[in-house]
Every structure is written in structure tokens, then in C-alpha cells.
Amino acid sequence: MRTAPGAVPVLGHAVQFFRDPLAFLRTAHQSGDVTVIRLGPARTYLVCAPDLVQQVLLNPRVFDKGGSVYDAFRTTFGQGVGACPFPMHRRKRNLVQPALHRRRIPGYGAMMAEQVTAMVDAWRPGEVLDVDVAMHRLTTAVALRMLFASRATEEVVAEVHELLPPMMRGLYRRAMIPFAPLHAVPTPENRRYLAARRRLHAIVDGLLASPSTEDDSAVSVLHAGGVTGAELRDEVLNLLAGGMETTVAALCWTFVLLDRHQDVRDRLHAEVDETGSPGHDDLPRLAHTGRVVTEVLRLYPPIWVLTRQVTEDTELAGHALPAGATVMFSPYALHRDPTLFDSPDEFDPDRWLPERAGSVPQGAWIPFGAGNRRCVGDVFATTEATLAVARIASRYHLTATGPYPKPVPRGELGTGPLRMVPRLRG
């Protein structure tokens, strides 16, 4: 087992990792199938081969969700299905899965289409638009209305939209610097995080205090399945967090890449025009649009790095891993590995055509994870992204106002502030 190059005494690879984590992870990927990374005195094992990543993901009992990233998430959003440890997961997933079952997606799709239309109706052609803010507001509305239906009023959506950014910034700081005394200092950032967390929990508690039995919301399904009390709040918070920030990143990158690649955009426009006003029933006819979303998730997977904690002494590809060790894998580095993808840095949606997709090694594309801990909302997320892209593209082409953004690796792999101009299509 090799150690990634460039380690220095005491700090190890910490400076490289925090200065440019994406470049560091891609370089470390070249060192072997399992590579040692030293972040200060701690040894982390970076898993670089897709078959080994699959072994990790398919054995959640030994490679469990744990460590500073999940501790920070649980403190912020509760111990729901997305972050709970292995002994709790099967029961929680069985409780939550009905709310996101495929048979419910068409109903959610109709709601998604309505929200996209309402957003686009408010745009002014030719005026600069903060696309990242618009997509965040959209996904906030979609997630809340999936969860609460009509109880998620415009006022609730607007407030949650304002609360989530300081919460996510605080979560990222706590995940990257897991030193509790530092986060207990009453700095402005810490106070904003704690105030936002308290208020979000209060909003969710208020909405849950009067559950409706007449709507078709996800919360009604959860409640009917016996999820109540603190457990219900945890699951709602998990679904809310999982249904927003990552989809924002995917949508923003999609519009950036469509603006940069006219040939791909023209084909998408032609496909969308054949459907009129795309809805859920049109998804089978939006094959090229779906491949665009798939390729965006390859180039810019919103969750760019993940960790697992080893629960017992074990081996991986003949390498001994002690109990308590942290295992890391990076969808971003894996998706851009030249041994797995031809021209990995190129935006090429056609690599997902049926006749070409078969050459992609199993486990090389993992934006949603794998196994029984695969993201419970993966179909919901891809449906939302595809419908949003298609409905926006049916009316507008978004053009950049300045240099194209570089990826910003924080809690998700976002674009940062993204200003574009919506131009009506002729």
C-alpha cells in the first residue's frame, strides 16, 4: 500500500488537500488501488479502484457511515436514513422507501413541472439572473412540497430558502474541522449556524404538528407507515437536505455546460421541442436530455468525496485495515479516471448511448452511491433535474455573463455564484 506523494512532516497531506482537494484526489488516485493519505497524524485510506469502492459500498456492516462528516450531518439534520449507522439503517429505509417509491414519482413530477413553470414565468428575458439562487429556491420549493404538499406555503419556502445556506456552511466547517471547542465559540458564523438550525427545526416541528391525512405528501405516507415523533423529524430533515443542495449543483453545472457546448444544446432543444411542454410522461422521449444530466453528474458529482468507518479489522485487496480506520473514496476522481473513461475531462453525453455505455466498468459512475445505502431519492433527483432542464430549455437559453465558473468543493461540488442571462428562444 503506497502513500500519496507530497506528504510533509506533522501535517502530512493536509495542506494539499485543503488548498486544492480536487487536484490532490486525482493525483492520489494514480498511486494505487488503495492509497494512504495523512491528514495531520491521522491515516486515511483512499480507495481508488471501482471494484474496491463497490466492495466498500456493498458491505455497510464493516464499512459503516461514520466519522466527522456524518457526525456533523447528524448534528445538523438528525439521524435519518441518509446518515444513520448500519444497525439502524434497514428499518429506517423500509420506513422511508414507500414515500419515494417509483409509483409516486409521476405525481411528484407534475408538482415539479408546476414549480419550474412558476419560476420561469417570473424571469425577465435579457436581465441578469442569479442562477444558483434561482435553482436553490426551486429545489427548496420542490422538496418542501414533496414533503408537505400545500402546507409548504410560499412563506415557508422563502424562509427555509434563507436558512439553509448558513446551515450548510456550518455543517461543512464542522465536518472539515472536527474540533468541538472551536465551534462552541460565539463567533458570528457559529451564531448564524445555530440560529438557522433552531429555526429550521422549529419550522419542521410546526408543520409536523398538524399532519394532514387528506394530502398525498411524503410526510403523510411516512406517518401512515408508523414514523412519528423525533424519528419523523429526522427523516424529514434528511429528505429535505438530500433533495436540495445536490440538485442545485447539478442544475447549475448543466446550464454552464449547455452554454459552452452549442452542439449538445441544439440537440437538446430539438428534442425538447418535439414534446411541447415536457412533463413526467415525456421522460422516455427525453433520452438525450437524460444523457446530458448523467454526464453532468459524472463530471461534477455533487457529493465529490465520501468516507466510511471500518467497524472491525478487515482486509481490502489484501491490504490490512484496522478497526476504527477511515476509508475515503471520491466520485469526482473516479469519474475522471482516464483508465475508466475515454477523454474523461470532456463533456460527452453520447458516452451514455446504449452502444457505448456498456464499456463503462461497473461501479465507475457512482453519484448516488451503491448497494442498500444508495441514495433513497436517486430517481426523484434525476427526474427533477431532467424535467427542470427540459422545461427551462423549452423557453430559454441561459448565457454566461463572464468567465465560466470553476468547481467549488464544499458540502457539494457547486459553481459558486452563477450569473447568467435568460434569452428567449426564437
Specify which of 82-91, 207-216, 283-292, 409-418 reaches the highest per-range mean pLDDT: 283-292
Task: Name the pTM for this structure.
Answer: 0.95
The mean per-residue pLDDT over the stretch 167-183 comes to 87
Query: What does the alpha-carbon distance between residue 95 and residue 31 come to, in Å, rounded to a whole number?
Result: 42
Give the residue from 22, 20, 44, 60 showing the smallest Cα distance to 369.
Answer: 60
CA distances from 198 to 114, 133, 143, 300 (A): 30, 23, 19, 32
Percent of the residues in the chain that have a pLDDT greater than 70, as a whole number: 99
CA distances from 327 to 60, 176, 324, 382, 423 (A): 12, 15, 10, 27, 46
Is residue 175 predicted with pLDDT exceeding 90? no
Task: Write the DSSP symbol of residue 8.
Answer: B
The mean per-residue pLDDT over the stretch 263-292 comes to 96
Torsion of CA 343, 349, 354, 355, to 10 degrees: -40
Name which of 37-41, 44-48, 160-164, 324-328 the model is least confident about: 37-41
Residue 213 banded pLDDT, cuts 50, 70, 90: low
Give the residue from 142, 153, 345, 119 showing the smallest Cα distance to 245.
Answer: 142
CA distances from 322 to 35, 68, 148, 316 (A): 15, 18, 44, 11
The mean per-residue pLDDT over the stretch 36-58 comes to 94
Q: CA gyration radius for the chain?
A: 21
The mean per-residue pLDDT over the stretch 25-54 comes to 94
The mean per-residue pLDDT over the stretch 81-108 comes to 94
Give the residue from 68, 63, 69, 61 showing the smallest Cα distance to 87.
Answer: 61
Is residue 212 predicted with pLDDT exceeding 90? no
The mean per-residue pLDDT over the stretch 295-309 comes to 95
Q: What is the pLDDT of residues 116-126, one digit of tens each?
A: 999 999 999 99
Domains in the chain: ranges and CATH = 1-78+304-366 (1.10.630.10), 98-294+368-426 (1.10.630.10)
